[in-house]
Amino acid sequence: MIQTFAFYLFAVLLIASAVLVITSRNPVHAVLWLIVAFFNGAGLMVLVGAEFIAALLVIVYVGAVAVLFLFVVMMLDIDFAELRAGFIRHFPLGVLIALVLLAEIVLGVGAYRAGALELGAAGVAAEPIAGRSNIDNIGALLYTRYLFLFESAGLILLVAMIGAIVLTHRERPGSHKTHQNIDRQVRRRPQDATVMTRPDVGQGVEL
Amino acid sequence: MVDLSQYLPILIFLGIALALSTAFVFLPMGVSQLTGTHNPTTEKLSEYECGFPAFEDPRSRFDVRFYLVAILFIVFDLEAAFLFPWAVSLDLTGWPGWITMMVFLFELVVGFVYAWKKGALEWE
Amino acid sequence: MNLTASLSLIAPELVLSASSLILLLMAAWMGDRHTQTISWLAALALAAATILAVPALSGGASGLSSEAFGGQFRADAYAAFAKILIYIAAIASILVAPAFFERLRAMRAEYPVLIVLATIGMSIMVSANDLMTLYIGLELNSLASYVLAAFLRNETRSAEAGLKYFVLGALASGILLFGMSLLYGFTGTTNFAGIESALGGGAQTGALFGLIFVLAGLAFKISAVPFHMWTPDVYEGAPTPVTLFFASAPKVAAVTLTARVALEAFGGQVEAWRQIVVFAALASIVVGALGAIGQTNLKRLLAYSSINNVGFLLIGLAAASLAGVAAMLAYLVVYVAMTLGSFVALLLLQDRTGEPLETLGDIAGLSSRSPGVAWSLLVLMFSLAGIPPLMGFWAKFVVFRAAVEADLLLLAVIGIAASVIGAFYYIKVVKVMFFDEPADREVAAAGGVNWAILIAAVLFISPLGYLLTGWLGTLANTAASALFIAA
């Protein structure tokens, strides 16, 4: 009973916040609603027993992706009035696309009724390990059977990093001067920096 | 199937938190609506402290450098997320699993060294 | 799963991954001044990977012995054929780049590294034997491609190309993922062979939906009509060496991948996907031919030409026979040679100040100013138009023959008729170069590597190339039969 209650709670909140994401006028508010949606999605994931996915949703999506979205939204210089004018101008086209998508959803739902879902029917599927949690099972597969895909995914992350640096990083003029060169600092000796002189009275020193 | 009853406390906590925060938001609104007088005028609602309206939108544009930091954060956040299942299932995967993760970490360490050398981690 | 055997099967990918990591560190330490060195090393790594891929092709690897990682990856002759082609195209796009970027003072040592990483992605794509492998390979390639398209980040056109490619590419990835999840839901597996046996001969509505979404996502990658809208803009905006790369290597990867998905995962639903492929083929041929007519920018023109060529490639796939796939592979070889040749010729065209000559007006009367490039372009354009005795004609001929043999006579007839429309604008380019008043823009001499690639490409598609057709045909047949033994 309580499970059903929790499902409806999360599902209703998820849909409501998802609607608010696309209807809120301020993009920052939209991102905040998106975070709420992610949280409720994580709750739903817990309900179906995918605890690791739930944790990923909170750690990666709420913790990192939402922050990135916020930064990007704040980086954009959005003129809201113009945006709204565009919305009215393209409204008929939007309705048309929405109708097409709606038709697709209807057909898709019909498709689900037409054929049976056969999750886990193929002979090659791995058996879950008895007595171990969801996260153990994921680990046992991800790092052995799917190691090739896992390492390739590592390369994708690497490309994301290179891409971000190539596209946004700029050498700022003057940044080299302030650069701390630890090696040079350590190699520096007193005799490089100070000079001992014994000037005669009234003669002064040459530096 | 996961034993969901272990999550009951957090569900109760969520319910109470939701109820309390709703109360904290709407109770004062309701109380002030009922007790206070509410007749705003344009004069009352205009800027008052410095005597002139705001020059520009307070939401100034962010530097693109924030974006770079956020992307790097996501990459390493994901890396950390992959460490969880690896750590708990190491008894099942053994050496192959250990080596797999080390290769994965090496790929990202190369990326990290690259980012460091390029100065992407420096603000100025 | 035998790990050692699996690792030996992915030797080309391993070499490329290791060298991409080393080259990345070199790029960080040596800086942009040493891009030339890093480019040559990257080309060397790709050449090594090419050599490693050869045994699988000549040995005709197929079946279970070519499966790695429990059937997620397949290093058969078919994959080897595509890989060799991809690696060669990648080498070309690395070697032509330094001269181009140096002129713009935008030389970045990351360029060869990103090309190598994109190539690893394509390598995984053509060897994919599982929906997850397919997706990982596709994303690795796409992500690197988005960055490459926006590589000249200070130029609005390049940044716009990157953004456009990224947004539409992300949409296509979403469609593909949706289709894949439907397929997984209805068949219970992501393995191609598993999907085929789970679907059997029939196709339930749900799985059919999955099939259509997967094909739509892949059609975006090969820029087949109606998913071609991004192609002209991205090809025009991206730096020319990157455009050369986009038009050659990813096309090979995506087309061969589409054929593998269609024939291995949906081998029992040929009738279902054939309609889609036939439609996309005809639409691509017609839209590519008609769209090119009004273009004045040469890069846009070549973009439409590539859409047009994808149509002919898909005719080979629509035949769904061994001969059809072999014809498609042979066409790919000729297409890559023609594409590399045309874009390298474009790279050679620049005036004394280093401004590229990119429009039809710029190349008016080119034959008097730069006869070498003009005559090469003449051969390339005639070959693209499919005029005998050039190799472009042979490629179209084998594709149409396969279609006729598969009882797709109507498709072949319409295709031939539409290729006549296409011939119009290719010949128009030749006419502008040879018979128009010379434009008053000087053409500067340019690098030796570019000339070497141009001469190699022109020689290959010239009638001399016919000496190779027997050999090429055998290789394509071996490669294609790997697909049909496994199926």
Indicate whether A128 belongs to any domain. no
Alpha-carbon gap: B55 to the closest alpha carbon of chain A (Å)? 16
Name the residue of chain A whose CA is nearest to B111's CA: A158
Chain C neighbors (3+ CB pairs < 8 Å): A, B
Q: What is the pLDDT of residue B51?
A: 62
**What 3-state DSSP class applies to B49?**
coil
Q: pLDDT per residue over A43-100, tens digit each?
A: 999 888 888 899 899 999 998 888 888 888 877 766 666 666 667 777 777 788 788 7
Indicate whether A90 belongs to any domain. no
Residue of B74, B114, B121 best to disrupt the C interface, most CBs of C under 10 A: B114
Write the residue in A75, A154, A171 that is nearest to B107 by C-beta.
A154
Q: Does B121 touch chain A (CB under 8 A)?
A: no
Mark whether B34 and B79 lie in a shared domain: no
Q: Does C3 touch chain B (CB under 8 A)?
A: yes
Q: Which two tokens stand for residue C401?
A: 């023959």
Write the residue in A60, A154, A172 that is nearest to B108 by C-beta.
A154
| Residue ranges in chain C modelled with pLDDT below 70 | 1, 203, 441-442, 444-446, 486-487
Give the whole-number percent of chain A exceeding pLDDT 90. Answer: 28
Q: Does A153 touch chain C (CB under 8 A)?
A: yes
Name the residue of chain B whose CA is nearest to C3's CA: B96
Indicate whether B24 belongs to any domain. yes
**Would the CB atoms of B74 and A60 count as touching at under 8 Å?**
yes
Answer whether 0.95 is exceeded by the pTM.
no
Indicate whether B53 belongs to any domain. no
Q: Which residues in chain B touch residue C24, judged by CB atoms under 8 angstroms apart? A: 110-111, 114
Identify the domain containing residue A21 by its residue range: 7-80
Q: Is the CB of residue C311 less than 8 Å from the CB of residue C420?
A: no
Q: Which two tokens stand for residue C166?
A: 């990224």
Name the residue of chain B whose CA is nearest to A61's CA: B74
**Would the CB atoms of C72 and A149 count as touching at under 8 Å?**
yes
Q: What is the DSSP string of C416-439?
A: HHHHHHHHHHHHHHHHHHHHSPPP
Residue of A143, A151, A175 best to disrupt the B interface, most CBs of B under 10 A: A143
Name the residue of chain C whose CA is nearest to A159's CA: C144
Mark whether B67 and B108 lie in a shared domain: yes
Q: Which residues in chain C touch residue A114, judged by CB atoms under 8 angstroms apart? A: 204-206
Query: What span, in angstroms and rounded, lies between the C-alpha atoms of C169 and C448?
Result: 35
Q: Does B6 touch chain A (CB under 8 A)?
A: no
Q: Which residues in chain C touch residue B114, judged by CB atoms under 8 angstroms apart? A: 24-25, 27-28
Q: What are phi and psi of C350, to 5 degrees?
A: -150, 155
Chain B neighbors (3+ CB pairs < 8 Å): A, C
**Would the CB atoms of C117 and A162 count as touching at under 8 Å?**
yes
Measured at the CA of C123, the angle between CA C118 and CA C128, to 5 degrees, comes to 125
**Would the CB atoms of C189 and A122 count as touching at under 8 Å?**
yes
Name the residue of chain A whose CA is nearest to C128's CA: A149
Q: Which two tokens stand for residue C84?
A: 């060799």
Indicate whether B50 belongs to any domain. no
**What is the separation of C-alpha C27 from the centre of its chain, rounded to a whole number of angstroms?**
27
Q: pLDDT per residue over B60-85, tens digit each?
A: 677 788 888 889 999 999 999 999 99
C297 beta partners: C359
Indicate whether A29 belongs to any domain. yes
Q: Does C1 touch chain B (CB under 8 A)?
A: no
Q: Which residues in chain C touch residue B111, judged by CB atoms under 8 angstroms apart? A: 24
Q: Does A162 touch chain C (CB under 8 A)?
A: yes
Q: In the structure, what pLDDT confidence band is assigned to residue A120 with cuts at 50, 70 and 90?
A: very low
Q: Count of domains in chain A?
A: 1
**Would the CB atoms of C69 and A147 count as touching at under 8 Å?**
yes
Q: What is the pLDDT of residue B74?
A: 92
Residue A164: pLDDT above 70? yes
Chain A neighbors (3+ CB pairs < 8 Å): B, C
Query: What span, in angstroms and rounded, lies between the C-alpha atoms of B14 and B11?
Result: 5
In the DSSP assignment, the letter for residue B4 is: G
**Would the CB atoms of A163 and C144 count as touching at under 8 Å?**
yes
Q: In the structure, what pLDDT confidence band is assigned to residue A116 with cuts at 50, 70 and 90?
A: low
- More confident site: A17 or B124: A17
Q: Which residues in chain A touch residue B107, judged by CB atoms under 8 angstroms apart? A: 151, 154-155, 157-158
**Would the CB atoms of B117 and C29 count as touching at under 8 Å?**
yes
Q: Does B97 touch chain C (CB under 8 A)?
A: no
- The single residue listed with the structure tokens 């040559």 is C40
Q: Which residues in chain A touch residue C10, judged by CB atoms under 8 angstroms apart? A: 148
* Residue A138: partners with Cβ closer than 8 Å, 6 or more residues away: A52, B85, B89
Q: Does A98 touch chain C (CB under 8 A)?
A: no
Alpha-carbon gap: B110 to the closest alpha carbon of chain C (Å)? 7
Indicate whether A109 belongs to any domain. no
Indicate whether A56 belongs to any domain. yes
Query: What span, in angstroms and rounded, lies between the C-alpha atoms of C222 and C215?
Result: 10
Count how many pairs of residues, chain A against chain B, have C-beta atoms within 8 Å: 160
Q: What residues of chain C, 193 to 222, have a C-beta less than 8 Å from chain A?
A: 194, 197-198, 204-209
Residue of A105, A113, A119, A156 best to disrupt the C interface, most CBs of C under 10 A: A156
Compute the mean pLDDT over every residue in chain A, rounded to the nearest whole number.
Answer: 81
Q: Count of domains in chain B?
A: 2
Identify the domain containing residue B95 by its residue range: 58-124
Q: Does C181 touch chain A (CB under 8 A)?
A: no
Q: What is the pLDDT of residue C400?
A: 92
Amino acid making up residue C452: A
Q: What residues of chain B, 81 to 100, have a C-beta less than 8 Å from chain A?
A: 81-82, 84-90, 92-93, 96-97, 100
Q: Which two tokens stand for residue C382?
A: 């005639």
Q: What is the pLDDT of residue A122?
A: 43
Q: Is the CB of residue B50 less than 8 Å from the CB of residue A29?
A: no
Mark whether B10 and B69 lie in a shared domain: no
Q: What is the pLDDT of residue A207?
A: 67
Residue B1: pLDDT above 60? no
Q: What are phi and psi of A75, to 5 degrees?
A: -75, -30
Residue A196: pLDDT above 70? yes
Q: In the structure, what pLDDT confidence band is assigned to residue A197 with cuts at 50, 70 and 90?
A: confident
CATH number at residue A63: 1.20.120.1200
Q: Does B43 touch chain A (CB under 8 A)?
A: no
Alpha-carbon gap: A119 to the closest alpha carbon of chain B (Å)? 15
Q: What are phi and psi of A204, to 5 degrees?
A: 80, 180
> What string of H, E and C letters represents the secondary structure of C399-419?
HHHHHHHCCCHHHHHHHHHHH
Indicate whether B3 belongs to any domain. yes
**Would the CB atoms of C25 and B118 count as touching at under 8 Å?**
no
Q: What are phi and psi of C68, to 5 degrees?
A: -120, 155
Count how many pairs of residues, chain A against chain C, have C-beta atoms within 8 Å: 119
Indicate whether A65 belongs to any domain. yes
Mark whether B27 and B77 lie in a shared domain: no
Q: pLDDT per residue over B83-116, tens digit each?
A: 999 999 999 888 889 999 999 999 999 999 999 9
In the DSSP assignment, the letter for residue C60 is: T
Mark whether B72 and B105 lie in a shared domain: yes
Q: What are phi and psi of C104, to 5 degrees?
A: -90, 0
Q: pLDDT per residue over C385-418, tens digit each?
A: 988 888 999 999 999 999 999 988 888 898 888 8
Instruction: Quote the ipTM score.
Output: 0.93
